[in-house]
Amino acid sequence: MLQLDKLPNQLKNEEVILVLRRDFVIFFFIILRYLLLAILPIFAKIFIIDFIFPHIVDTDEGVAVLTLLAFGYYLYIWLFFYRAFLDYYLDVWIVTNQRILNIELEDLFNRTVAEQKLNRIQDITTEQKGFLPHFFNYGNVYIQTAGTIQRFVFEEVSNPNKVAHQIHKLIKWNKKAFPDDG
């Protein structure tokens, strides 16, 4: 497991300042989506099976098949929900006193780790588009760098303006603390 005191390519005197993820509101809507999927079989039973195919539940064999289908359905809903959680939770942006790290799970066997030193950051902008980001105060933080990866994006993080301000302060501190770096 990734430990915050043993980051990839850990630098000397490096300390973690921020660990950022997408705002919890994003995951809340994912939870709602899967709750809807979980109650879908109940509606299917009431509005489809009982009305259109009532013979299915008249026999023990029909009930057995439907019950197996339901178990299979719920197992896969649970699996995909856990996958959605991992997708949300394993995407992490870490800001230390010396660099920023972007750790993203692309898909099941595809993970990206990108890093950039603070003194190579050229510009930081924030974006909050739409009613929900404004209401729940989350948005994107765009970090322009002078590196191979020219732009880091902290997606849908809480309080993006505060995050940008904190990174600005860290960059200033970093320039004084490590003047010869980079």
Partner 1 sequence: MEVSLKIFLFAYLIFLFFWVIFSFFNIFHAVKFGLANKTNIIVMIIYIVVSLIIIGVSFMFISTIDWNEKIDILSLFI
- Check if the beta carbon of residue 94 is closer than 8 Å to that of residue 103: yes
148 binding partner 1? (CB under 8 A): no
Binds partner 1 by CB under 8 A, chosen from 42, 47, 67, 146 = 67
Question: Using the rule CB under 8 A, is 71 a contact of partner 1?
Answer: yes
Q: Which bin fits 109, alpha (ψ -120 to 50), beta or left (φ > 0)?
A: alpha
Q: Does 31 bind partner 1 (CB under 8 A)?
A: no
31-39, 53-61, 125-133, 141-149 -> range binding partner 1 (CB under 8 A)? 53-61
**Shortest Cβ 13–partner 1 spacing (Å):** 21
Closest CA to 23 of 102, 141, 152: 141
Q: Does 85 bind partner 1 (CB under 8 A)?
A: yes
| Phi/psi at 98 (5° precision) | -130, -20
By the rule CB under 8 A, 39 interacts with partner 1: no
Q: How far is the C-alpha of 174 from the C-alpha of 43, rounded, in Å?
A: 58
Q: How far is it, in rounded angstroms, from Cα 101 to Cα 7?
A: 9
Give the interface with partner 1 as residue ranges (CB under 8 A).
1-4, 19, 53, 55-56, 59-62, 64-65, 67-68, 71-72, 74-76, 78-79, 82-83, 85-86, 89-90, 92, 103, 105, 108-109, 111
